[in-house]
Amino acid sequence: MIILRGRLGVVFFDADGNATSTTVLQPGDGTVAVNIPHGVFHSVLGLEEGTVFFEAKAGPYRPLSAEEKASWAPAEDVPDAAAYYQRLRRCFA
């Protein structure tokens, strides 16, 4: 994952949904790229409006299977999603 414009927060999780580390990607003097190993739970958040990043994955695109999705993370369209997003944002406050 490579940042092209803006700021991007990356959060890594353990299997229980606990944040284990964070990284901020930003062009220029900051960290500009991160490699996310296969099978590592993670999330990304745009920290500035207009943030643009490039993500490349090995192999053909395949939608995530149910086993690959984190059971502890709410779906985008449920009421708990907004609170979950705010919790992730606090990782970068």
What pTM did the predictor assign?
0.89
Instruction: Give me the pLDDT at residue 51, please.
Output: 98
Residue-number span of the structural domain to which 21 is assigned: 2-58+65-90
Say which residues have a Cβ less than 8 Å from residue 11's Cβ, sequence separation at least 6: 19, 21, 22, 42, 43, 44, 45, 88, 91
Q: Which of 45, 39, 35 is nearest to 10 (CA)?
A: 45
30 or 46: which leads in pLDDT: 46
Q: At 38, which CATH number?
A: 2.60.120
Percent of the chain scored above 90 by pLDDT? 76
| Domain tally, the chain | 1
Q: Determine the 3-state secondary structure of 54 from DSSP.
A: strand
Residue with tokens 């502890």: 72
- Flag the least confident range among 26-35, 63-72, 77-86: 63-72
pLDDT band at 11 (very low <50, low <70, confident <90, very high): very high
Residue 59 clears pLDDT 90, i.e. is over it: no
